[in-house]
Chain A
Amino acid sequence: MLDYMRSNRREVIAGIVLIVLLSTYLGTHPRGASTYVVTIWANQAMILGLAAAAQFFAVVVRGIDLSVGAVMALTNTLASHLLDVSAIGIGFGILAVIGAGLLCGLLNGLLVVYGRIQPIVVTLATASVFVGLALLLRPTPGGAVNYDLADAMTLDVLGMPSALIITLVLVFGFWFPFRRTGLGLGLYALGSSEQAAYQSGINVTFVRLAAFALAGLFGGLAGLFYSFVTTTGDAGIAANFTLNSIAAVVLGGVLLRGGVGSLVGALAGAFILKTIASLMFFSGIPSLAQPLFEGLILAAAIAIGGADVLRVRNKLEVFGR
């Protein structure tokens, strides 16, 4: 246990920050730690959590995905068309929505790998295309999602919010096993040093493609979950989620230079970011001052993350970061 904490220092710190913030939030909330309050909090955090997971897969291979929000907008609008039908249709609908996310990610990956364009620029351009497609599907917000399904995914099971159950399944059912596969290790190898990864026989082309495809897949999942929470389609959600997903992964201890961090950290970062926003709402700070405080806390949290710079023994070390 101690060893785990030592080798995952960043996730542990993010986890502690999250617990402190969350208990403050539940402590100050007028309705206390009821299932209702926790469910709403978990739903909001989960949307950003999935977006941060998407961003994590791009960042860990030393890339970045500025199209996370756009993929969410596209899959959200798609879901608002496909998920308002009977049970059989919904099964195909969900597959189609997730598949659309995967395809978007794959397209990004192909352009990065074979077009040899920097990820930040590729995803900037594809984001515009995806938002355009989303606008074609839903020029104005509207549409609907099957309410029974949406309720099942966003309410609670025996007092445990569905969103938290999904998070646990994601971490224990997907991430921990995945981390040990060849592809999981390959992501870190590629992010740490492409040359070393290549020379140790890792198929860097495949790993990078897979990373961007996974980013698209999770962007699709984020869009799908967003549809369950809001039960409508809205093409205008892109910009906000993209920038917040970057802030979330950084708060969760994922380094933008690649190779460091984990999906757990990214999720924790997203939950921290949403908790700060919810905390503001009930904090008694005048509502006009809240955006400023949110910005200050974000900046402070990031600056503390950068405090490692004080520990370097040799001034040259800072340049490697």
Chain B
Amino acid sequence: MIATFKNTVTLDSLMPYFGAVLLIITGSFFFPQIMSADYLLQQLQIAAVLGLLATGATIVILLGHIDLSVPWVLTGAAILSTALVGSGNPALGAIAIPAALAFGALIGVINGVGVAILRIPSMVWTLAVNSMLLGLAVLNTGGFNPKGESSELMIGLASGKLLGVPISFLVWMAVAFALAVFLTRTPFGRYLRSIGFNEKATFLSGVSTPSVIFFAFAIAGMCSALGGVMLAGYANQAYQSMGDPFLLPTIAAVVVGGTSILGGRGTLFGTIGGALFITLLTSILSVMQMSDAWRNIIFGLVILSMLLFQTLRKGASR
């Protein structure tokens, strides 16, 4: 148990948590309301969507790949689920969330086929898949905001509270915990990391590497889809390009959480911290009423300095 703890809670993965605490303390000097439970609980709720996306992205990045189809898988899932609910048929409305998840898994498998069978670099293939999904969405909705609405369940998922804690946060934690167990306690998790280190060696030791890759991308697709359902529940509708602002923060959250972009090394625990840190950073910058320009600059500089700190620390310990 202690060994697992040591493997999970590395210094790299603790960094964003320190960062988040530092942000809250510094922020509360200027704006005391940041210290309040209301504000912090609200941040947990907002962080859930980014957190779910980053959880999926971590799985793919551990594999040594990247998933750039996140924005339109998210949007597609949101359009699909709100359209099913909006159709007025209770039977269709009931399968809205499972259908969205199935959609995410399907796109994930398509991503996996391109990467594992056709051997196209994931960065390009998932980009192409993303633009095909964009095309499908435009064709389907006519370029306008899609009609439809969110079900009670979706709204509850996004903005409901259980004993004062946002349900969206609890869902995120449940998904992250289940996947963390999956990654550390099953052969799949070991195969995933070993593919990230060396795919050839993993294949030669008898692992069916393509199926691991399919599965990883499918999980990532489902995480993106769940994020889309949640965002649709939050806004009570789906809208064009709703996923676009999430792509880069998602990668940033994973990397700030200490996961190596080259694959093989990293933890979901770090990613959770990363998502919290990025959400807090964005939120505090907007509380301070920074202009868009300064928000971008500070965002970039903070991420850079956290990454530089990671390499400096490693350089010092060597």
Contacts and interface: CB of A to CB of B under 8 A. Distances in A.
A133 B293 CA distance: 6
A243 interface: yes
Interface in B55-94: 66, 68
B304 A295 contact: no
A135 B291 contact: yes
Nearest to A301: B128
Contact of B120 (A116, A124, A303): A303
Among A139, A302, A307, which residue has the most Cβ atoms of chain B within 10 A? A302
Contacts of A298: 128, 131-132
> Which secondary structure dominates where chain A touches chain B?
helix
Interface string B151-164: 00000000000000
Contact of A116 (B124, B133, B136, B311): B311
A305 B120 contact: yes
A303 B118 CA distance: 7
A303 B114 contact: yes
A133 B297 contact: yes
B38 interface: no
Given A291-B135, A302-B128, 8 more contacts: A117-B311, A124-B252, A125-B303, A132-B293, A247-B128, A291-B131, A291-B134, A298-B132
A296 interface: yes
Contacts of B135: 289-296
Interface string A108-120: 0001000111101
Contact of A292 (B68, B138, B199, B299): B138
Interface residues of A, number: 52
A290 B136 CA distance: 10
A288 B138 contact: yes
Contacts of B298: 132
Interface of A: 64, 111, 115-118, 120-122, 124-136, 139, 239, 243, 246-247, 250, 256-257, 288-296, 298-299, 302-303, 305-307, 309, 316, 318-321
Interface residues of B, number: 53
Contact of A129 (B117, B296, B307, B311): B296
B200 interface: yes
Closest 3 CB pairs of A and B: A292-B135, A132-B296, A128-B300
B297 A128 contact: yes
A295 B293 contact: no
Nearest to B262: A118
A121 B119 contact: no
B308 interface: yes
Interface of B: 66, 68, 114, 117-121, 123-125, 127-129, 131-136, 138-139, 142-143, 199-200, 203-204, 244, 248, 251-252, 255, 260-262, 291-301, 303-304, 307-308, 311, 315
Contacts of B66: 120
Contacts of A291: 131, 134-135, 138-139
Given A131-B296, A139-B292, A302 B125 contact: yes
A243 B296 contact: no
A307 B204 CA distance: 23
A288 B134 CA distance: 11
Nearest to A300: B128
Contacts of A64: 123
B129 A299 contact: yes
A27 B186 CA distance: 59
27 contacts: A115-B308, A124-B252, A128-B300, A129-B304, A132-B292, A132-B293, A132-B294, A132-B297, A132-B300, A133-B293, A135-B291, A136-B294, A139-B292, A243-B127, A247-B128, A256-B124, A291-B138, A292-B138, A293-B135, A299-B129, A303-B118, A306-B118, A306-B119, A309-B117, A316-B203, A319-B200, A319-B203
B118 A124 contact: no
A120 B129 CA distance: 20
Nearest to B260: A118
Interface centre among B117, B135, B292 (most CB of A within 10 A): B135
Contact of B304 (A125, A135, A289): A125
